[in-house]
Amino acid sequence: MSSAVLVLEDGRTFRGTTFGAQGRTLGEAVFCTGMTGYQETLTDPSYHRQIIVATAPQIGNTGWNEEDGEAASAENPNKIWAAGFVVRDPARRVSSWRATGSLQDQLDAQNIVGIAGIDTRALVRHLRTRGSMRAGVFSGDALGTAEEMLEQVVGQATMLGADLAGEVTTDVSYTIEPAGEARFTVVAVDLGIKTNTPRMFAERGIRVHVVPSATSIEQVLELNPDGVFLSNGPGDPATADSNVALTRQVLERELPLFGICFGNQILGRALGRSTYKMKFGHRGMNIPVIEHATGRIAITAQNHGFALEGEAGEEFDSDFGRARISHTCANDGTVEGVELLGGSAFSVQYHPEAAAGPHDAAYLFDRFTSVLEGVDK
């Protein structure tokens, strides 16, 4: 195997071997604590411009298949959005009846530069202490002196201030039909939507019109929706002024609204809250969240490096009525949900579509369906 180097913006380096394609990749180094689900993680558009560090020691056992990709693209649902992949011990052989190939082969095919054989425990401890930071993986002809590689790393843009939703959104609108009779119609604003999200709506009899992130309120209303959904996605929510404006226009018309992840931050901003960049974020499938109205705790899948300002159970006035912080993380108190007290608009910071991840939060799709049932058009 050829040599590869991971270079962090603070000058720390980790040397290993190539994993995937050779060359150079730049992005923000973040760690993900998921023990499984690397295919869903790599294809999640929310990881755009991020180099993922896997905390699980061995990656690749289940190979790659044609069904689990989460890039919501008819052309290539298995498109890898992550900028790079950092692992300790790549599996030597694939062991899954569903596999159609190996992870290594897929990284090669999609020209994703990665690195293996490094001490990922030391790397994760460093990122937890110093915070997520700009990084680069270099191999093959891209290898240079330490000074040359570090210069390239610090020369890239930071995630703070990055406007990325427009880079991952669909180019054209499309529709996902329910298996049976359509009970309701929802417009889903694609800020980086995952494949399983419209599927979860379809299972509940909801027709989903997925529209580009730049869609106007007039275009939304032309589809005569019963409700609006704001998807997950990458980047700094402080840059998403047009999406916040659209959300405010939806709230002004009292259309039911549901958001997840990036969509939670957009709804929060529309209600007057500010956002901030977290030190190292939440990325994984084992993060406990408290729903304060019920005391219920769900183990959730998350992928975010930004969060809303707020305190557990806090109520506040918005331009659309009284609102509150509905969910917080049991580990660190981070805001995990916001809602209007009337119940017509709510959002969560985590991923209830469970791709990959636990199913504890799937009931939120049922909750939104109940909101749609209670609205007279």
Retrieve residue 252's tokens.
Answer: 């002004």
CB 335 within 8 A of CB 307: yes
Summary count for the chain: helices (H), strands (E)? 10, 20
* Secondary structure class of 355 (helix, strand, coil): coil
CB 27 within 8 A of CB 135: yes
**What spatial distance separates the first Cα and last Cα of the chain, rounded to whole Å?**
63
Paired tokens of 228? 């609006």
Q: Looking up tokens 């191999």, which residue turns up? A: 139
In one-letter notation, the amino acid at residue 317 is: D
Q: Which of 70, 209, 261, 339 is catalytic?
A: 261
Residues present in the chain in total: 377
Query: What is the sign of the dihedral through the CA atoms of 155, 157, 160 and 161?
Result: positive
Please give the Cα distance from 25 to 153 (Å, whole number). 9
| Coil/strand/helix, residue 87 | coil
How many other C-beta atoms lie within 10 A of the C-beta of residue 64?
Answer: 24
**Annotated catalytic residue within 28, 70, 339, 353:** 353
Positive/negative CA dihedral, 27, 277, 244, 363:
positive
**Cβ-Cβ contacts under 8 Å for 182 (sequence gap 6 or more):** 205, 206, 207
Whole-angstrom Cα distance, residue 308 to residue 294?
Answer: 21
Buried residues in 68-91 as b, exposed as e (16+ CB within 10 A): bbbbbbeeebbbbbbbbbbbbebb
- Token code pair at residue 367: 């909750």
Active site residue 261: yes
3 state SS of 165: helix
Q: Specify the DSSP class assigned to residue 83.
A: S
Q: Which two tokens stand for residue 134?
A: 């700009």
CB-CB contact of 226 with 258 (8 Å): no
Active-site residues, by number, are 261, 351, 353
